[in-house]
Each structure stands twice: as C-alpha cells, then as structure tokens.
Structure 1
Amino acid sequence: MRRSEISTLLFETPWPELRQYAVRVLEREKGSHVFVRGLVEFSNLCWRNCRYCGLRGENRALVRYTLSQAQILKAASVAVDAGVDTIVLQSGEYTIDPLWLAQIIDAIRSSHRVPITLSVGEQPEVAYALWKEAGAVRFLLKHETSDRSLYAALHPGHNLQERLDCLKKLAKLKYECGSGFMIGLPGQHPESLVDDILLARRLRVSMCGAGPFIPQENTPLGRSESGSVPMALRVLAVLRIVLPWANIPATTALATLDAECGQRDGLLAGANVLMPGFTPMGFREHYRIYDNKNRVDMAGVQAAIEEAGRTHALKPLWKTQSTLPKALASA
C-alpha cells in the first residue's frame, strides 16, 4: 500500500467506511478472539528525561519503587489466576540487573507456562539475549514518533536511530517485537502519523500500540492538550488494514480519555488486545506516565469485549494442559 493510499484512509475516508474495512480485515486475519495481557509495572525507576513522561529521571515529585522478586511473582500469579494469556513485565528505562530479571522470567514460565513480554526499554544486547534464553518471547519497544527531529526534541540526548537499532537487535535474537507511537504529541505534524504506520510496516512488528498523548503535570509538556480519541481510533483502523498480521491493543490511554467506551471502541476499530493492570496496590499509583490513568481491571476488560461482540478465553486453560492452547501459543 502506497503512502498516498494510507494518507487517504487516515484523513479522508468516512469513519463508518474505514471502520467497516478494518473489521473485515480483522475478521479475516484474526477472527473474533481478544487476547488479554496482564501488565505488571515492576519499577518506575528511569534514567531518561523524555519531555512527556512522568517517570522521567528529573521528576522529583514521583515516589520511586522497584518490586521485589516475590512481589512480582505474586502479581503474575494473580494475573494468571484471573485468566490472562500473557504476562507483560514493564518498567522505566534504568540499569536492570540482567540475572535478577532472568530469574523472574524463568520462575514465571516454570510456574505458569504463559508467554512473557518485556517492556523495559533500551538495554545491552547481552541482557536481551539472557532474557530470551530465560524464556521471554516478546519485547515491546515503542518508537513513539517517526519524526527524527521531534524524537530528538522529546528525548534529550537520544535519537530515533538508537531506538531502531535496539529493535533490530531484538529481532535478530528472535523476539516477537512490538513497537508503537503516540497520537497528538505537541509538535507532531498530522502527516507524520502516516510515516509512523509505514515505519511499523517496514519493521514487520508483531504488535503495534498507538494511543493518544496525555500530559503529566510534572513534565515540561504538562500543560499541553491531550491527543484526539477520534483520530486515535482512525489510526487503529488504518493499522489493522496496513498491518493485518499484527496484534493491536486498545490502549489504556483510550480508556483514560474515554472511560465508558474507549476500549470497546478500540476493539470495534480493529484492535484485538487488551492489557489490564496487575501492579500491586500501593505501587500502581506511582507508575504515573501520564495523569489520571484509568486502571483497567478484568471486569472492565470483559465488559469491553462483550460490548464489542468479541470473544475471549479468560479461564486459565493452560493449568490443565500439557501444552499451551494453539490459540495462545500462536498469539
């Protein structure tokens, strides 16, 4: 699909027509099943100073934490018992002890036999390799914006090529790689969203997350306006059409800006993944990437799936089987 065709879909095609197109692709490529990934935010430490993110190292107002191995394993167990099909371990970008995290990955895989996704930012290749050996199968590393000048302005001391090089290293190690970007970033030109979609396609990512920008008060962009929910839904629909093979989440940011319908509408736009949070109480409020984050729980996930007329498997089937169910193993 040419750039001009993607631009026409994104900015000119009437919404009912665009959504119907995306749903046809979704039904053909993915069916009606929605995957449910359990998110454990195990640390909010971060050494970067991204201008939009509340975890930025210079945010002195944030209470910092790192969960213990026991706390992480307990949160993962709660998530599996609730019926998630994947555990997502997420943190800010800091120097993680590779062996420490490898032990956690191995323990989760040994106890629960569910796929593990990591989202811990740019790390040494040797660490990526160790975590893959320990049992991690997916890695989420969002490129945030394909506009190189905007990327540099938003990420002091860093550039987009560093991000892309990490994604290449992860792909070389045979991770299923995910990327993604924000919609409505201050300074973002609308047409750069087309470039974001094209970049995700060139990378052949297995997952692509796209959600609206939401400001966090203790950042340089804390007084900026949030991104548009309608535009975010259009982006999801176009992603489904252009990346028919990819798993696409209806993001928590959608649920934050539209608590009643955001994730349901994301599913109706072509998404097929939801990510409820399982970070322990007493810590989750300190994982403050943006303000007023909607803490999506399993009840909200089930409601969104049912309201969208989709299907799910929220019972932990793998506990009674010798191998993962085919639908989960190929997710």
Structure 2
Amino acid sequence: MLQKELIDKLHKNSILSADEFYKMLSEHDEEDSEYLFGLARKVRENIYGKDVYIRGLIEFSNYCRNDCYYCGIRKSNTNASRYRLSGDEILECADEGYRLGFRTFVLQGGEDMFFTAEKIADIVRNIKKRHSDCAVTLSVGERDYDTYKYWYDAGADRYLLRHETATDEHYRKLHPDELSLENRKKCLFDLKEIGYQVGAGFMVGSPYQTTEYLVNDLLFLKELKPHMIGIGPYISQQDTPFADMENGTLEQTLFLLGILRLMFPNVLLPSTTALGTIAPNGRELGLKAGANVVMPNLSPVSVRKKYQLYDNKICTGEESAQCAGCLRNRIESVGYEMTVSRGDYKI
C-alpha cells in the first residue's frame, strides 16, 4: 500500500494540497484503492445508510447549439437523428416514472433554443402541479442569471452543469472558441446563489487530460462546494473529432469517486451510465466506491438511441420499468437498497 497515509489524511481533513493529490493520483496501487473504497463506503453509509437514490432521466431534446468536440449531439454532427419531445410526452414520461417510484425527474437536453425559458418553465410547473412531492432537476446548459432564477421560481429544485475541466488550457482543447470556462464557472456560482441544489463534474480520461488537470478539478470542486458531483469515464463517439481518442478507464473513475466521497461526505454522487457502459458491473462497482445515486432512463424507447453522447450507451432498448427493475436488482446485489424518495442533499 503506497498511499495509506494520504488517504487517512484526506479522510480526516476532506482536503489535501495540490502536491498531495498529485502524488495520490499518480502512485496508488490496488491495495490503496480497496482501502479508499472501504473508507468511502463507511462515510456514505454514516450519512445516507444503505439508501441509493434514483433519478428518472428524461432526455427531451438532442438538438444543441454548441459544437463541443467530444459530444455526439454537437450541432455539426450531420449523422445525428434529431428529435424533440413535446410537453405532453415529457409529462407522460414523468407520470410513468412516478408510477414506478421515482420522486426526482431530470430534464436533460442539448442547448436547444427551441425550448425557450417560458417553455421550460411551463414544463417544470406542470410536473410540479401533477407531482408536488417530487423534485425537478434541469440539465440544459448555460443560460443567464435571470433565466436560471425564472426556472427556480417556476419550481425547479436542482441544476446539473458539469464543468468538464477546471483548467482553461484544457477547456479550450475540448470546446470551440465561443465557449469559455469563465462563463461555465459563472453559471455554476449563479445557480448556487439563486438557491438551487447544484451539480458539477467532469469527464475522467478526456482527451489531453493530465493528472495536474484532475488535481485542478478537485480543488475547484472544493471551492464550489456543490451538492452533487457527476463524473464518468470519457467514452468516444464515432461522429466527433475525438472519434479515435482513447477512452477513460474504470479504475481511475472509481478511484476518483472514492476521493470525492471523502472530500464531500454529504455529496450526492451518481454511479453513471457511462460506468456501466465501459464495464458490465461498472455501476455496482461505483456504488461500492462511495456513490449513492443512479439515474435510469425514462425517455421513450423510440428516442433513446438518438441521445448518443457517446458510443455503445447501455439501456437504450429497455422500457422504463425494465430499466428500473434491472437497476433495483443490481443495487441489491451489492448490499444497498433503491429507495422511493426525492433524495435530497443532507446537510
């Protein structure tokens, strides 16, 4: 075991110096990982018990105004089969999810300006009107302060906006010139100021990523103090400029999940679909590394294959009930319980 002392220090203090994080990320071995995961499980179980929270993901549009180099729904991908769900279709997904025990719905889409601030606010209000005991999470990218405030006032509870990388040099290698890390970070701090439960996060093993960049991500998250952190392995998509880039690894993603649990004991930490895509038992291993959230897909089966952020995405052919039933079995197989709950951040 190479890094027990640093892992214990992180467990005690929830933070390390940049040099210490660099050493831990660069030089750990399998024994370190297992030790880290054991501590991470204790920390999450001390706060959240054996509960795993489920979020019903509704991918309502794969149109996007942006051209991020890693993303399969980037605007210049002419091979993408575009779709938009209607307001009624979105509500039907939420109704079905409610019947299946979901009490949080995540409305996710590209930055599709067809969905104006007013349209999204109406969708949020309608879901809240029908299911007042549920939380609504939005994940629709960068907007201005007033729009975020308008949606919050309409009833949105949470907002997911992965920062993707906290290093400007790296950000510019992943995105076209019109996008900036400065604005991305501004959006995250705006969302916190307004009162949302805020989620940030990054891709693990994304093109040109270095250990130093990952350290910057951890330090930025400590500054932001988000309520949710979504990380997953980078997976290439065949119709992007990064089609031939190497994917992120299961091992590195799991190690970072364990680190994040020790850094943020109360955080809502998903075991992502991308983890399940790179390894058949990836989501179960994510839970054993400290995660406590899963996000099965409630989108209509007819559009699931079209929301192709990356290649070989799992669960694109399953009905919502199948997805939920499969995940329940997977969660129980590693000693946890899928709960019917909004699953709010615990202070």
Q: Partner residue of 1:313?
A: 339
Q: Partner residue of 1:2?
A: 16
1:33 aligns with 2:51: yes
CA displacement, residues 261-305 of structure 1 (integer Å, 9 cap, x when unaligned): 110000000000000001112111110100110127112211221
Unpaired segments of 5 or more residues in structure 2? 1-14, 317-322
TM-score after normalising by structure 2: 0.88
The partner residue of 2:121 within 93, 102, 105 is 102
- Give the CA deviation at 1:228: 0.5
Unpaired segments of 5 or more residues in structure 1? 315-324
Q: Partner residue of 1:51?
A: 69
1:154 aligns with 2:174: yes
CA distance in 2, matches of 1:206, 1:233: 19
Q: Partner residue of 1:321?
A: none
1:233 aligns with 2:254: yes
CA distance in 2, matches of 1:66, 1:299: 27
Q: Partner residue of 2:131?
A: 112
CA distance in 2, matches of 1:124, 1:147: 22
Overall identity of the aligned pairs, in % = 38
The partner residue of 1:168 within 182, 189, 213 is 189
The answer (yes or no) to whether the contact 1:36–1:84 under 8 Å persists in 2 is yes
Q: Partner residue of 1:292?
A: 312
Partner amino acid for 1:81? R
Q: Partner residue of 1:322?
A: none
Q: Partner residue of 1:20?
A: 38
- Give the CA deviation at 1:30: 2.3
The partner residue of 2:291 within 271, 274, 278 is 271
CA distance in 2, matches of 1:167, 1:275: 21
- Give the CA deviation at 1:8: 4.3
1:248 aligns with 2:262: no
CA distance in 2, matches of 1:38, 1:175: 18
SS at match of 1:191: helix
CA distance in 1, matches of 2:201, 2:345: 21
- Give the CA deviation at 1:330: 5.0
- Give the CA deviation at 1:9: 4.1
CA distance in 1, matches of 2:24, 2:42: 15
Q: Partner residue of 1:223?
A: 244
The partner residue of 2:231 within 210, 217, 220 is 210
The answer (yes or no) to whether the contact 1:209–1:248 under 8 Å persists in 2 is yes
The answer (yes or no) to whether the contact 2:163–2:202 under 8 Å persists in 1 is yes
The partner residue of 1:62 within 55, 68, 80 is 80
TM-score after normalising by structure 1: 0.93
CA displacement, residues 216-238 of structure 1 (integer Å, 9 cap, x when unaligned): 00000011111001110001000
- Give the CA deviation at 1:23: 1.2
CA distance in 1, matches of 2:286, 2:148: 31
Partner amino acid for 1:306? E
